[in-house]
Amino acid sequence: MRRVLLTALLLALASPLWADDLRTLNWQELIPKDAPPQVPQMTPMHDMSQLGDALSEGGAASLQQFPSAPVVKEMDGQNVKIPGYIVPLDVTEEGRVTEFLLVPYFGACIHVPPPPSNQIIHVNTELGVLLDALYQPFWVEGPLKVEHSSSELAEVGYQLAADKIYPYELPAN
């Protein structure tokens, strides 16, 4: 009996080591190594009176540089963790963002032209993120799909169904 309990305890402690196939990504890993260089234009939009025009049909998405940038097909189906900023697409009546674009830098798609499509992840989640918290970066975890989609803001190269979303913190040294 004692041996069974010890074995069960060891398995319980060790199982996260082999069960956790979560891959931490950086944004550069979403660009194929042989892809031509992509230097996004990050000129801010200071004249907010033009925001309505930018968000209208033919607006921001048409300003996007590299709207059909190449993707890394090997990423399809991988369970990933990636940090980024949230650009809301759908907000519940309770003020929770349940559909959004995850982007590598603050202001992308709103204050500056959208990044290349392989630098945007379309995320759906039942969890939701409070609208008031969107000024900070978040970690987003879940299965990644290599799949193109369009939104009113940008063309997107990847999809993710978020299992976890939590504030980004710098790793402790």
CATH of the domain at 91: 2.40.50.870
Between 59-68, 102-111, 122-131, 163-172, the lowest mean confidence (pLDDT) is in: 59-68
Predicted confidence at residue 30, as pLDDT, reads 97
Q: Kindly report the backbone phi and psi dihedral angles of residue 125, in degrees, each rounded to the nearest multiple of 5, phi listed first.
A: -155, 145
Predicted confidence band of residue 155 (pLDDT cuts 50, 70, 90):
very high
Predicted confidence band of residue 64 (pLDDT cuts 50, 70, 90):
confident
Predicted confidence at residue 85, as pLDDT, reads 96
Task: Evaluate if residue 6 carries a pLDDT over 80.
Answer: no
Residue 51 in any domain: the answer is: yes
Q: Which two tokens stand for residue 75?
A: 């990423």
Residue 87 in any domain: the answer is: yes
Predicted confidence at residue 137, as pLDDT, reads 96
Residue 14 in any domain: the answer is: no
Is this prediction's pTM over 0.85?
no
The number of distinct structural domains making up the chain is 1
Residue 109 in any domain: the answer is: yes
Predicted confidence band of residue 24 (pLDDT cuts 50, 70, 90):
very high
Provide the residue type at 24 as one letter: T
Separation of alpha carbons 142 and 118, rounded Å: 17
Residue 172 in any domain: the answer is: no
Which residues contact residue 13 at a Cβ distance below 8 angstroms, ignoring those fewer than 6 apart? none
The residue among 161, 170, 148 whose CA lies nearest residue 70 is: 148
For residue 94, the 8-state DSSP code is T
For residue 110, the 8-state DSSP code is T
Residue 55 in any domain: the answer is: yes
Residue 47 in any domain: the answer is: yes
Residue 3 in any domain: the answer is: no
In three-state form (DSSP H/G/I as H, E/B as E, the rest C), the secondary structure along 38-85 is CCCCCCCCCCHHHHHHHHCCCCHHHHCCCCCCCCCHHHCCCEEEEEEE
Residue-range definition of the domain harbouring residue 47:
23-32+41-167
Predicted confidence at residue 55, as pLDDT, reads 47
